[in-house]
Structure 1
């Protein structure tokens, strides 16, 4: 799935690099590695990527939601957003378990730095320390759109799709045409 999303982002950027891309998210999350591939592609391409939570964005999907273009991270009013530390499990020899534990700790630190960057960017200043982000993401934390807005995960709650420039132009032309007196 992530390979498909990455290739679509790259194709959309190559087609029209300056045109914004909107990513609609309704996901319980998933593999951190796959999610990081999507996140890195979102930040790598020239096209600005706006994100919209439609239903739910949990775990890695919440990081992708927060990783959208500043000012262009949205949620619909009845969505749910959940953040937490990375999950994982392993078994095997003690040495292999230690290797895995070290790797998941690195992944946790990486995820926390990403969230810290985007939450602080949304606030316009260093509001959250890495320690505060670590505490915030220690356990599953479910957020309403209002709570996500306050925290800085999203920038706006959408209730109605905004009109495109083309729609605005057509509406103005219709109104202008209807108000023009007709002569015979």
Structure 2
């Protein structure tokens, strides 16, 4: 079974709904290949998908096609084999939340986050030692494919280019992630815009006409020529 989870890790994400539907209909030993491109989201949903993959009896392969950040990186830990494109990224950090209320409520929120943090650490420790995990989480660490492999968080690096990822919920965080990444520019970004190609073609034709007029024999009767193009109009029309 091949599937792709993209976007925020939230219950109403259609790719997550489809994933759960497909997992329920799998044979117990069927192989699973799951591609992931997400900034993260609900930590418990990430843990749920991680454990769903872990409990599947067939071989599970996860491929990071752009970024697997936060809860999305936890999902990757459920795979038997984790692969990443050489220009993709993984990011792990401590759980965070938005809290309101009195001092007692806020202290409880901090205690709750500490408890959730224990579950987050446990999600990675079958691949990496606890002390290293805690250090990476504390520093909100972005890992290139090569660094993630050095730490043991992924098993294999494949060549390719990263994908754009959309986020409906974590827009500000998504922008921050993008600013901190340095994706390789695709060849398509270097193409000449269509309006410039049109301008160059018209300019080339104009020079060709000028050249032909200047090369006519002096004794030859002049033939009617097409009106010369006005250079200023040529450039003004290409908006």
TM range (shorter): 0.7 to 0.9
The TM-score with structure 2 as length reference comes to 0.57
1:84 aligns with 2:93: yes
More helix by percentage: 1
Structure 1 residue runs without a partner (length 5+): 120-127, 161-184
In the alignment, what sits opposite 2:35? Answer: 24
SS state at 1:15 partner: coil
Runs of 4+ more than 4 Å apart: 1-4
Shift of 1:96: 1.5
Question: Does 2:124 correspond to 1:115?
Answer: yes
Inter-CA distance 55–7: structure 2 relative to 1 (3 Å threshold) = closer
User: Residues 140 and 100 of structure 1: is their aligned pair in 2 closer, same or farther, counting only changes over 3 Å?
Assistant: same
C-alpha offsets along residues 35-54 of structure 1, whole Å, 9 cap, x if unaligned? 12211211223233211000
Query: Could you tell me which of 93, 96, 99 is aligned with 2:105?
Result: 96
Report the 3-state secondary structure (helix = DSSP H, G, I; strand = E; otherwise coil) of the residue aligned with 1:55.
strand
How far apart are residue 153 of structure 1 and its match?
0.8
Counterparts of 2:153 and 2:11, CA distance in 1: 22
Give the deviation of 1:67 after TM superposition.
2.7
1:134 & 1:15 partners in 2: Cα distance? Answer: 35
Per the alignment, residue 55 of structure 2 pairs with 44
Matching of residue 66 in structure 1 with residue 70 in structure 2: no
Report deviation, 1:2: 4.3
Deviation at 1:6, TM superposition (A): 6.4
CA RMSD of the aligned region, Å? 2.1
> Which structure has the larger Rg?
2
Secondary structure, counterpart of 2:154 in structure 1: coil
C-alpha contact (below 8 Å) 1:30/1:60 kept by paired residues: yes
Distance 1:111 1:52, change over 3 A: same
What is the count of residue pairs matched by the alignment? 149
Confirm or deny: 8 A CA contact 1:13 1:46 kept in the other structure: no
SS at match of 2:97: coil
